[in-house]
A and B are shown apart, each in its own frame.
Chain A
């Protein structure tokens, strides 16, 4: 199997409220979320894939 070890978890929690506030204001994320919601409204996922 290709890169069997490749997807091992390597996260470190970093609850930095200042950083979080900064990221939360980034217009990029708002724009991306809006685009995603519009896409899913226009192209709904069939129920058979949502089970």
Chain B
């Protein structure tokens, strides 16, 4: 099977990952960061992901890049989850997009690799006022992921 993801750099001190999306819109730097937001009773890391803007020195996940590589980008983000949780197997990862459509992108990424993710991770999603075990085809508002 053809590999379909980007190589990425990891800044281990602060859990940043960066890679470049390449397509019709050019080369766009993508940045992922895992930040510890809760230590008790469990370590919960927030996953943030967006395009890096060298002019504003900020990231943004509201941009629709249209670089025709969405699947490859999602696969790369999923790969960083794998990498990060190999280094921090005790970590819970919280993921939520800045909008419902962005959160749905995370859901698509989880669903696309569910065959592999489901065996390696416990995934729960928040919907209608409740946290529930992840099921494909449901539009969750947020996710929590942990290695089994």
Residues of A within 8 A of B (CB): 1-16, 19-20, 22-29, 32-33, 35-37, 39-40, 43, 45-47, 49-50
The 8 Å CB contact of B59, one of A26, A45, A50, is: A26
- Within residues 58 to 86 of chain B, which ones have a CB less than 8 A from any CB in chain A? 58-61, 75, 78-80, 82-83, 86
11 example contacts (A-B, Cβ-Cβ < 8 A) are as follows A3-B1, A4-B115, A9-B86, A10-B79, A11-B17, A20-B16, A25-B57, A32-B46, A39-B142, A49-B124, A50-B42
- Shortest distance in angstroms between A8's beta carbon and chain B's nearest beta carbon? 7
Number of contact residues on B: which range applies? 35 or more
Would A1 and B48 count as touching, CB distance under 8 A?
no
Query: Chain A residues with Cβ under 8 A from B126's Cβ?
Result: 43
Distance between Cα atoms of A39 and B124 in the complex (Å)? 15
Check A3/B116 contact, CB under 8 A, given A13-B9, A28-B48, A46-B131.
yes
- The answer to whether B112 and A2 have CB atoms under 8 Å apart is yes
Q: Which of A1, A26, A35 contacts B96 (CB 8 A)?
A: A35
Q: Is the CB of A15 within 8 A of B1?
A: no
**Partner-A contacts on B (CB < 8 A):** 1, 3-5, 7-14, 16-18, 31, 33, 35, 37-38, 41-42, 44, 46, 48, 50, 52, 57-61, 75, 78-80, 82-83, 86, 92, 94, 96, 98, 112-117, 122, 124, 126, 129, 131, 142, 144
Which residues of A sit under 8 angstroms from B38, Cβ to Cβ?
37, 40
A39 vs B112: C-alpha distance when bound (angstroms):
26
Contact B116–A28 (Cβ < 8 Å): no
Q: Give, as a whole number of angstroms, the nearest-CB distance from B36 to chain A.
A: 9
- What separation, in Å, do the CA atoms of A45 and B94 have in the docked complex? 11
Question: Are B82 and A12 neighbours in the complex by a CB distance under 8 Å?
Answer: no
